Amino acid sequence: MSTPALGDVFVLDFSKFLPGPYCTWMLAELGAEVVRVEHPRELAKQAQVFGVQNQTTEQQRARRARDVFARNKKSVLLDPGEAASRPLLEALVRRADVLVEDYRPGVMDRMGLGYEALAAINPRLVYCSVTLCGQTGPYRDKPGHDPIALSIAGALSRCGENPDAPSFPGLPVADLITGSNAVIGVLAALNARHATGRGQRVDIAMSDSALPLIANLVSRNADLTDLPPRNRRRADAGLWRCADGRFVCTTDMEPRYWAKFCETVGRPDFTELHLRTDRWEEMRRELDAIFATRTSAQWMQAFDAAGTQAALVYEPAEALDDSHNRARGMTPIHPGPDGPVRQIGCPVKLSDSPPVFRHLAHLPGEDDAYVRTELDLKP
């Protein structure tokens, strides 16, 4: 039987919003024991945000079981700011290798749970703070979520193809990039601890994490005040509406793929116009008309046969049913409290210590007894 990659790592999870839970989910998937510290007041606020404050216990259990990023984690329910919670929290901190939190800067300090205070209890603790704009800088105390980070990073201004206005990307781009960076920071700090014997503070900002999204623009444009407009799209990549109303995505930017694409759509004369930026708009219009003559299945059959870069644009349900995604273990189904639960698999594949499913998400406080007894922690 394989040994989990992070089987000897104990994580204390104070996070609530997507970047933090994504980080601790990844750590849990790779074998770490993760204990969530769930604050009753924060749970009540989240229930209001999502309109689920009146759910029954059974409904809460079913909803929690579907929460991908709470999978493989234990849960204790307590108010970290209450004096009565302090003994158990200190026992958990002494046991922990990693702590992840996503409160606004200064909140954990006011609860007596800031980095300096907890490092005094456990000098080996890796303390990861995930915030909108980090622990320093003029925006340190700024509140906000994913689109605010994208705005500060200059990335939201490039989202969408409307030349007159940007648009939300429709996916939590900054959230997941930030969560991934938090994982990298935690693992780097754990590796450094092997050499120094000490933990350290890991400061992860969503605005920092979003800035690399504009790295290509910075690298390729000497004058960032004179960028191409949002709708200035190449002709060799596109989303094309087919005769059945479905969309096909193509990305044939390399010359040999572009040549294959042009042959397949019946316009070999476009091959020599590949980098003619003054002809891109005209070519896109003609390609729009060409794609409208066949169904998406017919186009995908032609592109697959030609070996070009093309994919049918799936709806989420279709992606979960796709044979490739199933073969990669990315769409597991687990027994849940009210029937099978479809989940998302771990994107990290390790040959000798693969991720292991242990359990679906538990209700807040469901593991109080386990934490106090099985972990031999005395409140």
Q: Which of 149, 172, 166, 148 is nearest to 227 (CA)?
A: 166
Task: Give the model's pLDDT for residue 125.
Answer: 98
For residue 52, what pLDDT band results from cuts at 50, 70 and 90?
Answer: confident
Q: Quick check: 141 pLDDT over 50?
A: yes
Q: If residue 37 lies in a helix (H) or strand (E), which one and from where to where?
A: strand 33-38
* Mean pLDDT across 333-352: 95
Which of 51-60, 76-85, 103-112, 316-325 comes out lowest in average pLDDT?
51-60
- CA 58-345-65 angle, to 5 degrees, is 5
State which amino acid sits at residue 339: G
Q: Quick check: 378 pLDDT over 80?
A: no
DSSP 232-265: ---TTEEEEE-TTS-EEEEE--SHHHHHHHHHHT
Q: Provide the percentage of residues in the chain whose pLDDT is more than 90.
A: 84
* Mean pLDDT across 330-348: 95
The span from the CA of 10 to the CA of 27, in Å, is 9
Q: Quick check: 83 pLDDT over 70?
A: yes
Torsion of CA 108, 109, 112, 113, to 10 degrees: 50
All structural domains of the chain, each given as residue ranges with its CATH number in brackets, are: 10-213+346-374 (3.40.50.10540), 237-318 (3.30.1540.10)
For residue 379, what pLDDT band results from cuts at 50, 70 and 90?
Answer: very low
Task: Give the model's pLDDT for residue 376.
Answer: 65
Task: Give the model's pLDDT for residue 66.
Answer: 93
- Considering the chain, what is the average pLDDT of its residues? 94
Structure tokens at 337: 């409290």
Instruction: Count CB-CB contacts under 10 A for residue 290.
Output: 14
The span from the CA of 15 to the CA of 73, in Å, is 12
Task: Give the model's pLDDT for residue 377.
Answer: 67
* Mean pLDDT across 185-196: 98
Q: Provide the percentage of residues in the chain whose pLDDT is more than 70.
A: 99
* Mean pLDDT across 102-112: 96
Q: Quick check: 246 pLDDT over 70?
A: yes
Which of 106-110, 320-324, 370-374 comes out lowest in average pLDDT?
370-374
For residue 337, what pLDDT band results from cuts at 50, 70 and 90?
Answer: very high
Q: Quick check: 211 pLDDT over 80?
A: yes
Structure tokens at 164: 């007159």
The answer to whether the beta carbons of residues 73 and 35 sit under 8 Å apart is yes
The answer to whether the beta carbons of residues 152 and 212 sit under 8 Å apart is no
- Mode of pairing for the β-strands spanning 247-251 and 237-241: antiparallel
Q: Which residues pair with 127 in a beta bridge?
A: 99, 201
- CA 60-334-313 angle, to 5 degrees, is 95
